Amino acid sequence: MLTSVLRNLLRSVVVLVVVTFVVFFLMYGNGPGIARAVMGMQAEVTEENVAAKMVELGLDQPLLVQYGHWVQGLFTGDLGRSFYTGQSVTEALATRVPVTLAITAVALVLTALLSVLLGVTAAVKGGRIDRILQFLSVLGTAVPSFITSIVLVFLFAIFWRVLPATGYVSPDVSTEGWAASITLPVLALLIGAVSSAAQQFRTATLDQLGKDYVRTLRARGVSERAVIFRHVLRNAAAPGLTVLSLTVFSLLGGAVFIEQVFALPGLGQLANSSAQIFDVPMVMGTVLVTAVIVLIVNFLGDLAITLLNPKARTR
Partner 1 sequence: MRLVTRRSMLTGSAAVTAGAILAACTGGANNTGGGSAAGGAKDTLTLGMTADIEGWDPNNQPGYQGWPGEAIWGVLCRANEFGELEPSLAESWEISDDRRSFTAHLRQGVTFSDGAIADAEAVKANFEFATTNEATRSLYEGVTFDVPDAQTITLTWPEPQPLMSDRVFRIKLTSPDLIDSGNLNDKPVGFGPYLLDEAGTTRGSVYSFTKNQEHWEADVYPYSKLVCKVYDSETAALNALKTGQIDGTLVNAQSYDEVTGSGFEVKEMNGQTTRLLLTDHKGEIIPALGDVRVRQAINMVFDKQAMVDNLYAGHGEVSHQIFRPGSAAYIDDLADPYPFDVDKAKSLMAEAGYADGFEIELPTMDGQNHDVLMPYITQQLAELNITVKQVPLTGANAIGDLLSGTYPVVLWQLGNIGDSAQDIDIVVRDTGYWNLEHQKDDYVDEQWDIICTGTDEEAEAAQKAINRYIIDQAWFAPMVNPTSFYAHTADVVIDNVSDIEGLAPKLRDFQ
Binding region for partner 1 (CB under 8 A):
30, 33-34, 36-37, 39-45, 49, 52-53, 82, 84-87, 92, 95-96, 106, 109-110, 112-113, 150, 153, 157-158, 161-169, 174-183, 229-230, 233-234, 260-263, 265, 269-270, 272-273, 278
**Minimum CB distance to partner 1 smaller for 24 or for 295:** 24
**Minimum CB distance to partner 1 smaller for 106 or for 295:** 106
CB of 176 to partner 1, least distance (A): 4
**Minimum CB distance to partner 1 smaller for 218 or for 230:** 230
Nearest to 103 by CA among 145, 47, 65: 145
Residue 21: how many CA atoms within 13 Å on its side-chain side? Answer: 8
CB of 28 to partner 1, least distance (A): 10
**Minimum CB distance to partner 1 smaller for 84 or for 299:** 84
CB of 181 to partner 1, least distance (A): 7
Q: What is the DSSP string of 84-134?
A: TT--BHHHHHHHHHHHHHHHHHHHHHHHHHHHHHHHHHHHHH-HHHHHHHH
> Hey, is 88 helix, strand or coil?
strand
CB of 121 to partner 1, least distance (A): 15
Q: How many C-beta atoms surround the C-beta of residue 300 within 10 A? A: 14
161: left (phi over 0), alpha (psi -120 to 50) or beta: left
CB of 166 to partner 1, least distance (A): 5
**Minimum CB distance to partner 1 smaller for 101 or for 169:** 169
- What distance lies between CA 196 and its chain's CA centroid? 15
How much is the CA Rg of the chain, to the nearest whole Å? 24
CB of 173 to partner 1, least distance (A): 9
**Minimum CB distance to partner 1 smaller for 74 or for 163:** 163
Measure the CA–CA gap between 315 and 298, rounded to whole angstroms.
20
> Which amino acid type is present at position 73?
G
- Spatial contact of 93 and 285, defined as CB atoms under 8 Å apart: yes
